[in-house]
Amino acid sequence: MSLLKFLTLMSSRLSLHKRSYLTPFELVNLIEAIKNDDLSIENQSKLLKQVSAYTPGDRVVIFNLKIGLFAGFLNVPYIKEIGFEFFTFSECDRSSQSHFLLKELPLCCRLKESSPGIKNERMVALFIEQFVNTLSDKEKIKFKSIFFIDKFVRRFLEISSKTSKGLVQGDYFTELYSLDEETLSSYASNWIYHHEYFHRSGRLPLPDFIKYKNSKAAGSVEEIRVDSLAMLALLKNSDLEKRLTFKYILHERLFYYPSIHGPLEDYDSMSSVILFNKLKKFAGIRILGGEGLQFDEKFFSKVLVEIVKEVASLERVIAPKAPYKAREVYNSYIEKNSIEEFIEIFDSYKIDKAA
């Protein structure tokens, strides 16, 4: 039996029996599947070394960047139907990573084959705390987060671009609509590199201050903070790829999340409200009655700088406080953002679309 066939069988069996470990017999069969697979001697040796370190009852984790393989037990709170999962992948181009001075950059990849839990549309990324519970495993895996870039591309093509085409007047985003999937993958990866980099910056960087930012309001503020910093870094750049990456981030932050969830339900969608309100305040966006939205880029820098400054002020207030006090500060900031007009605009588009 090939390795992928064995992993497919294990994913189905362990999910059915709600079991989070491999039996001695299953471990032996995993080793045999690796030996029988069409792998180079070097890759086969590396996988066998990983698997041989486990004993029955361990939560096995297999990760090999060279052949593009992950398999292991996952614990993802927002996806109940998940257990022993696997996926094969190809790594995205990492050339745009070079200027990020981070020890732990994310892995951006495109999925090939995968188990049902990975296919779930809510599964767009994995973080090491979701699949590792031993120090030895943490040392084996170089990347602390894995992003499935093909899912980001698909949601642009199938969801957010349709929303923006229905709402936006003028040609501001037209360049994005004609991009092929490979180019969109590059822009999505660049977004992730910026996004994760800025999460680790500021007065209250993640993951060190996660206890301060684990509420819905804090999540909204944090998401718009890091994307505002990312867009500022790209906005004034003359390089076409970076300029289009800026437009891509703006597009997704503004149109994807509210296409899926309302701002009262979802922190990402609430971050869209914050951005929308600031764009409106500084005339970066104009509401054309029942005809949609019009964008004016010359005001964008003011918008993004104001968001960054406001959040920096919040963090100065929060920093000396206990984590539970942070929630009050973030809540008060969110409460200043009116959502009625935002909801009305997106709801009117959804009604038109349904008709």
Nearest to 171 by CA among 302, 296, 346: 296
Task: Kindly list the averaged pLDDT for each block of 10 residues, start to end, along the chain of length 355.
Answer: 90 80 87 90 88 78 87 84 90 70 78 93 87 53 86 96 93 96 94 92 92 95 97 87 94 94 91 96 88 90 96 93 90 92 76 39
Q: What's the pLDDT score for residue 227? A: 97
- Buried b / exposed e over 287-311, threshold 16 CB at 10 Å, is eeeeebbebeeebbeebbeebbebb
Beta-carbon contacts of residue 350 (< 8 Å; ≥ 6 apart): none
CA pair distance 56, 28, nearest whole angstrom: 10
Q: What's the pLDDT score for residue 344? A: 83
Two structure tokens written together for 245: 């990456």
Cα angle 161-125-134, degrees, rounded to a multiple of 5: 175
Q: Measure CA of the first residue to CA of the last residue in the chain; give whole Å.
A: 51
Two structure tokens written together for 109: 């990849």
Strands 285-287 and 293-295: antiparallel
Residues 79 and 123 sit within 8 Å (Cβ to Cβ): yes
Q: What's the pLDDT score for residue 351? A: 39
Q: What's the pLDDT score for residue 50? A: 82
Locate all alpha helices (DSSP H) within the chain, ordered by sequence: 3-17, 24-36, 41-52, 116-119, 135-140, 149-155, 161-167, 174-177, 181-199, 216-235, 240-260, 267-281, 300-318, 323-335, 340-354
Phi, psi of 214 (to 5 degrees): -100, 15
Report the Cα 204 to chain-centroid distance in Å. Answer: 20
For the chain, domain boundaries: 3-143, 151-354
Coil, helix or strand at residue 158: helix
DSSP state of 355: -
Cα angle 343-348-350, degrees, rounded to a multiple of 5: 95
Give this prediction's pTM. 0.89
Q: What's the pLDDT score for residue 60? A: 77
- Residue bearing tokens 């990492």: 94
CA pair distance 188, 152, nearest whole angstrom: 7
Two structure tokens written together for 139: 């040392």
Residue 122: exposure state from Cβ atoms within 10 A (0-12, 13-18, ≥19): exposed
- Buried b / exposed e over 2-36, threshold 16 CB at 10 Å, is ebbebbbebbeebbeeeeebbeeebbebbeebbee
